[in-house]
Amino acid sequence: MTATKSRVDGGILASVHKTAAGLHKAGLVDKATMREFDALCLTPVEPMTPGEIRALREREQVSQPVFAHYLNVRKDAISKWERGEKRPDGPSLKLLNLVKAKGLRAIA
């Protein structure tokens, strides 16, 4: 099982990924093709507006300090993101997208 397999949502995509992984294990799908397929299954990283970040935090029913703790950033970073003074990027943006797609428990 690849590390990416655990990130794939349930449903059709998970079934297809499981089949492809089985074909790879049997030697019918090469490593390069499997890596490409794994990349397609990753949670996309899209920019988020200040309003989307605030709505996401409120949807998860946590305060700014608690949200910051989950994302491993300072509380003032969350405040600045929500006010539009700064924009999250890199690992922080990836984590925000994971929370958006799968909830706070996905990164707990």
- pLDDT (average), residues 25-39: 88
Q: Which residue has the tokens 């690849």?
A: 2
Position 4 scores a pLDDT of 43
Residue 37 has pLDDT above 90, yes or no: no
- pLDDT (average), residues 50-78: 98
Residue 45 has pLDDT above 50, yes or no: yes
| Token reading at 46 | 């899209």
For domain 50-107, give its CATH number from 1.10.260.40, 1.10.287.3510, 1.20.58.710, 1.10.10.10: 1.10.260.40
For the chain, give the mean pLDDT.
88
Q: Where are the domains of the chain?
A: 4-40, 50-107
Interatomic CA distance for residues 53 and 60, integer angstroms: 11
108 compared with 68, residue with greater pLDDT? 68
Which amino acid is present at 72? N
Angle at the Cα of 41 (from 106 to 90), degrees rounded to 5? 60
Q: Which residue has the tokens 């970040």?
A: 53
pLDDT in tens, 83-95: 999 999 999 999 9
